[in-house]
Amino acid sequence: MELNTCNQNKVPFPVRLILADDDIDDCLLFNEALNSVAPSVKLSIVNNGEQLMQLLYNSEGDLPEALFLDLNMPRKNGYECLPLIKKNDKLSKLKVIVHSTSCDPARLDLFYAQGALCYVQKPAEFSNLKAAILKTLTLITDNFIDPRDKFLINL
């Protein structure tokens, strides 16, 4: 599923993102929040890990600037997708933001070690979702490697 965005952009952010999430309501909220902070960003959405990996493996040319990866998806979950992405020569430079409701400290260490840029715990409030997306887009744009003690973004 690909969602269109407005043509104006408040600040210079990545042009293309992927959201891998099986919850349609979460996808719609994410798209709405993204449109409000960076309306020119093109968002592609996949609803399971198999779709994600097919999209990435079959991509022609440049990859998107970043991937927001939910952990609990059908067919192939985020736990399975992250190592596949980071071990693939073509995909290894893709900035992966783990984006999930759960927040297990032991898992954070694993995702950090596997090369995720950061871990965003899905906020319950829409304003916090917008703030989390904005913070994450800034990390992506600045090519900033977040130190371990700042790896978790939860608002």
Burial 104-124 (b: 16+ CB within 10 A, else e): eeeebeebbeebbbbbbbbbe
- Is the pLDDT at 150 greater than 70, yes or no? no
Quick check: 94 and 67 in contact, CB under 8 A? yes
As a whole number of angstroms, the distance between CA 41 and CA 141 comes to: 12
Confidence of residue 149 (pLDDT cuts 50, 70, 90): low
The predicted pLDDT at position 85 comes to: 96
> Between 4 and 141, where is the model more confident?
141
Global pTM reads 0.85
Quick check: 100 and 131 in contact, CB under 8 A? no
CATH topology of domain 2-153: Rossmann fold (3.40.50)
Condensed to tens digits (0 to 9), the pLDDT of residues 94-114 reads 999 999 888 777 888 889 899
The predicted pLDDT at position 145 comes to: 59
Pair of tokens at residue 48: 């399971």
- Is the pLDDT at 71 greater than 50, yes or no? yes
Average of pLDDT values for 132-137?
90
The predicted pLDDT at position 8 comes to: 40
Confidence of residue 4 (pLDDT cuts 50, 70, 90): very low
Sheet with 118-121, side-by-side order of all strands: 2-3, 42-46, 16-20, 66-69, 95-100, 118-121, 152-153
Report domain extents, the chain: 2-153
Mean pLDDT of the chain: 85
* Percent of residues, the chain, with pLDDT higher than 90: 55
